[in-house]
Structure 1
Amino acid sequence: MVTRWFCQWSNMASSSRGIQLGSAWVQRKVKLRPQHRGIHLVTDEVLKELPELRQFSVGLLHVQILHTSASLALNENWDPYVRDDMEMMLNKIVPEGIWLCEHRNDAGPRKIVATVNGCLRDGRTPVSPMSPMASTSS
């Protein structure tokens, strides 16, 4: 199962002039369902697992993936072929079954961590159907 960490930080309280005061943060560990190799939209699954986002009116969302054979990307998605194009290029760059690391027994390359930073607006990521979060699995 792919494990991801999600951290939020936000100003929460408002003054009478609408100026944001104070701060709070939430850190959650979320497990998403396993996926086969490919590009997968995960925005809805991520938001479903983070009901705390609703308490933030504005903030910054940090999304980190700790799995060694997966990555995160934030892309435009208005064209249904965007994921196909990304997958085609990634398969050319990193063909399945080819090990591109010189030191197979060195754990260093497997410790790579991917992070996506995004904004929060009205308790949700301003990610729309036009720009969802995508996860790649190998």
Structure 2
Amino acid sequence: MKIFQQQIQIPRKKRGFHLITPLILAAIPTISELRSGMCQLFIQHSSASLTINENADPTVREDFETFFNKAVPENDPDYLHDYEGPDDMPAHLKASILGSSVLIPIHQGQLALGTWQGIYLCEHRDRATPRNLIITVWGE
């Protein structure tokens, strides 16, 4: 079994859902050495998240943002944690709902994503910082 690990930093993105599949693939060229295996992506932040969804129509990503803003509104008077502004606690909640990692099978040296699937960086902050991801690939 081979194991590869790479840390990357994604430059600051505006709030929203961003397709990052090309950045991930560029960071792990060694994936082509594996017939089968797994790729795990982990984001080292509590106010941004990762998910897999539609990669073709950008309105899907806009609709994700709309949904999460309605489901987890800002300025809720019941939130206690607001040290960094009205998007602070909602960003943490959204990140917990979506999650901090995704696991993708590797098949014949490629990520086994479906035809219409892509990897999203979900940025939940208005004033985001660059985001660190750990990519771990293993298989044979």
> Per the shorter chain, which TM-score range?
0.5 to 0.7
Deviations 1:86-130 (A, max 9, x none): 11101112335668754568xxx79x6611011012222122551
Alignment of 1:136 with 2:122, yes or no, is yes
Q: Which has the higher contact order (CA 8 A, sep 6+)?
A: 2
TM-score, with normalisation over the residues of structure 1?
0.68
Q: Classify 1:119/1:99 alpha carbon distance in 2 versus 1 (closer, same or farther; 3 Å).
A: farther
Q: Which residue in 2 is equivalent to 1:31?
A: 9
> Which segments of 5 or more consecutive residues in structure 1 lack a partner in the other structure?
1-22
Give 1:95's aligned amino acid.
P
Deviations 1:39-93 (A, max 9, x none): 1000011111111111111101111111222100111345443212111101112
Q: Which residue in 2 is equivalent to 1:125?
A: 111
CA distance in structure 2 between the partners assigned to 1:59 and 1:88 by the alignment:
35
Structure 2 counterpart of 1:87, from 58, 65, 76: 65
Matches within 5 A, 1:1-138: 23-96=1-74, 101-102=79-80, 114-128=100-114, 130-137=116-123, 138=125
Q: Classify 1:93/1:79 alpha carbon distance in 2 versus 1 (closer, same or farther; 3 Å).
A: same
CA RMSD across the alignment:
2.8
TM-score, with normalisation over the residues of structure 2?
0.67
Bigger-Rg structure (1/2): 1
Q: Classify 1:38/1:58 alpha carbon distance in 2 versus 1 (closer, same or farther; 3 Å).
A: same
Mapped contact 2:54–2:118 kept (Cα < 8 A) = yes
CA distance in structure 1 between the partners assigned to 2:7 and 2:77 by the alignment:
30
Deviations 1:12-38 (A, max 9, x none): xxxxxxxxxxx1211211111221101
Mapped contact 2:51–2:120 kept (Cα < 8 A) = yes
CA distance in structure 1 between the partners assigned to 2:110 and 2:6 by the alignment:
15
User: How many residue pairs are counted as aligned between the two chains?
Assistant: 113
